[in-house]
Amino acid sequence: MMASRRALKAVLIDLSGTLHIEDAAVPGAQEALARLRQAPVTVKFVTNTTKECKRTLFERLRRLNFDLQEQEIFTSLTAARNLLEQRAVRPLLLVEDSALEDFTGLETSDPNAVVIGLAPDHFNYQTLNKAFRLILDGAPLIAIHKARYYKRKDGLALGPGPFVTGLEYATDTQATVVGKPEKGFFLEALRDLNCSPEEAVMIGDDARDDVGGAQNAGMLGILVKTGKYRPGDEGKINPPPHLMCDSFPEAVNHILENLLGSK
């Protein structure tokens, strides 16, 4: 398999759990990113956020002294918005208020679609029941992603997945999922990079969503043991991760030493 791989052209990097956890950077991550930028590869940041708009993510990373541009970030909110525009629907947006900025300008009155992300303040019976009735009336259910849980400062916390699954169960329908680990998300992230999946590697802390998703799309996946990683996660995907690393800096070292071919 490795012999047939083309030269590496792109590195996709997860944000939360990989470069930072809330407002703390993973030790050495800024310097590792700077070293990666010296290599002849394109860097893109891909994230299953439903809590924060792209601008907020960007500003947080800049405050932590990461060298990146806002347009280098590709989020599940971006992917969801693209889908809503393609389908020309009016969404009921079950997302955090801080994420609404990425949907500015979309018509949301008299909704005929349900978009569900992580929205702890809206996950109450009344709102979920409103979504349930819309779906029963034929509105499509669009999930920004279906993560089971994520890592916060105070411990693990429920992701949108359990709520999406609950609505699927109640309405006997399948959600359209836009974020990681969907193959379409990874291909869309590469679309403007002039790069095939075989020329890309993904670094993340989520075995299923980051590594499994990327590898199903044809990329290599590197699993880091920071963020939400728990021992044994690597055994939950098939094929297993191309590589396991303690943290992002170690992953960058491996890429620079082993995946760039003879320079």
| Each residue's pLDDT tens digit, 80-103 | 999 999 999 999 999 999 999 999
CA proximity to 9, closest of 220, 216, 253, 223: 220
pLDDT value of position 1: 47
When the pLDDT of each residue in the chain is averaged and rounded to a whole number, the result is 94
Query: Is residue 263 scored above 80 in pLDDT?
Result: no
Question: pLDDT category, 260, cuts 50, 70, 90?
Answer: confident
Per the CB < 8 A criterion, the answer to whether 57 and 15 are in contact is yes
Query: Is residue 151 scored above 90 in pLDDT?
Result: no
pLDDT value of position 4: 58
pLDDT value of position 125: 97
Query: Is residue 6 scored above 80 in pLDDT?
Result: no
DSSP characters for 22-57? Answer: TTEEPTTHHHHHHHHHTSSSEEEEEE--SSS-HHHH
pLDDT value of position 146: 93
Q: In terms of DSSP H, where are the helices of 38-191?
A: 54-63, 76-87, 125-136, 161-171, 183-190
Cα–Cα–Cα angle for 24, 27, 33, rounded to 5 degrees: 100
From residue 38, give the alpha-carbon distance in Å to each of 25, 35, 203, 252, 263.
Answer: 21, 5, 18, 11, 13
User: What is the Cα–Cα distance from 5 to 37, expressed in whole angstroms?
Assistant: 21
- Pull the structure tokens for residue 172: 């006997």
pLDDT tens for each residue of 47-67: 988 888 999 999 999 999 999
pLDDT tens for each residue of 208-242: 999 999 999 999 999 999 999 999 999 999 999 99
CA proximity to 189, closest of 59, 82, 31: 82
pLDDT value of position 119: 92
Beta bridge partners of 115: 93, 142
User: What is the Cα–Cα distance from 229 to 149, expressed in whole angstroms?
Assistant: 11
Place of tokens 């429920």: 158
pLDDT value of position 152: 83
pLDDT value of position 261: 67
pLDDT tens for each residue of 98-131: 999 999 999 999 999 999 999 999 999 999 999 9
Q: What share of the chain in percent tops pLDDT 90?
A: 89
Strand 113-116 with 141-143, pairing: parallel
pLDDT tens for each residue of 188-208: 999 989 999 999 999 999 999
